[in-house]
Amino acid sequence: MATRDPLDFDVGVEVDEEGTPSPSSISPPSSPLSYLDRDRHVAFFEMLYDLMPYHYQSQEINRLTLAFFTISGLHLLQALDRVDKDRVANWVLSFQALPRSRAELKNGQFYGFHGSRTSQFHPDENGVSVHNAGHLASTYCALAILKTVGFNLLTIDKESILISMRNLQQPDGSFMPVHVGAETDLRFVYCAAAICFMLEDWSGMDREKAKDYILNCQSYDGGFGLMPGLESHGGGTYCAVASLRLMGYIEDDLLSKNATSFIVNVPLLLDWCMQRQAIDGGFQGRANKYSDTCYAFWVGAVLKILGGYKLIDKIALRRFLLSCQSEFGGFSKYPRELPDLYHSYYGFTAFSLLEEPGLNPLCAELGMIDLAALGIL
């Protein structure tokens, strides 16, 4: 069962080399259902919540991400009652990297949340917590899970997160996910923006610089690449537009406003997004590539933010998504393949954008339930 970091997007299919049968060797199931098989998805996700099969061990480093998909997925399916909210909150909080003192916040490390227990150790006798590997994506997932289970984010030590997060921002405005060094690209700008947004505090980042970096990522064809110069890509475009929205640089429902100039080339962006819906009804992540379930969210959410979601062919999209619905529960990347957690989650978010009955409404720019719409905020 192939799965990946939530923000790995469609940069390729990972085949599990541990001996699981490859998708092509599975005989095709009976013809697709004509409806969203909610109960089966709930059962599938409940199973994962209780125990993830060994196939997910290669994603161990992103355990919090797996937890986010599972718990937020159940919430989308209106099945959050399956989850022990206090237990989840306590478990998530245990991943927080805590500084011993205020002074430590200037040591360059990031006091966010670890993604797994790989490098989290109990502090030694002197209270020193070595090998702090707080990660931006894990922090985003942690906060999102806490919000999902109704935990009051104002009670956590947000100052440590925000002050130390500034250490991760680069001179060009991009973000590194961990202080020890890693790739920098739009995914982590998005994580940073989402973190500040959820904590309702923008002291964690220089928004202007982040905005400049994002604008540099807009490609000649209107979409956004993950870094300046890179090919426009559904995931990159989502990170760009969602970040700008979260940071307050673009208004909601831009397309219905009659302004003629925006900080990004909106008509070109819109046209690029619209062209991503392919003849099979699904969305592709890049021009001339195959449709993949998750882009129904990544690109669909961009259109939602801009106010252009109403322009897509929803019937055709629904038909494609249903062809990726698995008889085992969940969704696969392409029709007639095995489901995985990542594509399942984004299959649900895609159906939520389609306003499918039985699913909770989505906050497009956060990629999770719209708690305000549910009357929870």
Partner 1 sequence: MESSEEDRGEPLSRMAEWRDVTPLPQDDGPNPVVPIAYKEEFRETMDYFRAIYKADERSPRALRLTQRAIHLNHGNYTVWHFRRLVLEALNTDLDEELDFIQRIASSNSKNYQLWHHRRWVIERLGSNARAKELHLIKNILSLDAKNYHAWSHRQWVLQALGGWEDELDYCQQLLEQDIFNNSAWNQKYFVVTRSPFLGGLTAMRASEVRYSVEAVVANPNNECPWRYLRGLYKDDIESLVNNREISSVCSKVINTKNNYIFALKMLLDLLCYGFQPCQEFRDAVVALWTSDTHPLDPDLATAICDILEHVDSLRASYWIWRKNKLPVAA
Residue 56 vs 331, nearer CB to partner 1: 56
The closest of 345, 296, 340, 350 to 148, measured between CA atoms, is: 345
Residue 156 vs 312, nearer CB to partner 1: 312
Residue 83 vs 194, nearer CB to partner 1: 83
Q: Least separation, in Å, of the C-beta of 113 and partner 1?
A: 14
Residue 35 vs 54, nearer CB to partner 1: 54
257 CB neighbour count, 10 Å cutoff: 13
Residue 203 vs 256, nearer CB to partner 1: 256
Q: Least separation, in Å, of the C-beta of 180 and partner 1?
A: 5
User: How many angstroms separate the CA atoms of 329 and 166, rounded?
Assistant: 41
Q: Least separation, in Å, of the C-beta of 46 and partner 1?
A: 11
Q: Least separation, in Å, of the C-beta of 30 and partner 1?
A: 27
What does DSSP assign to residue 164?
H
Q: Least separation, in Å, of the C-beta of 372 and partner 1?
A: 26
Residues 6+ apart with CB under 8 A from 352: 76, 359, 360, 361, 362
User: How many angstroms separate the CA atoms of 314 and 324, rounded?
Assistant: 15
Q: How far apart are the first and last CA of the chain?
A: 36
Q: Least separation, in Å, of the C-beta of 116 and partner 1?
A: 8
Residue 268 vs 371, nearer CB to partner 1: 268
CA distances 73 to 45, 46, 148, 199, Å, are 7, 10, 10, 22
Q: Least separation, in Å, of the C-beta of 29 and partner 1?
A: 25
340: left (phi over 0), alpha (psi -120 to 50) or beta: beta
The closest of 230, 168, 233 to 196, measured between CA atoms, is: 168
User: How many angstroms separate the CA atoms of 132 and 114, rounded?
Assistant: 8
285 touches 10 (CB < 8 A): yes
Residue 92 vs 338, nearer CB to partner 1: 92
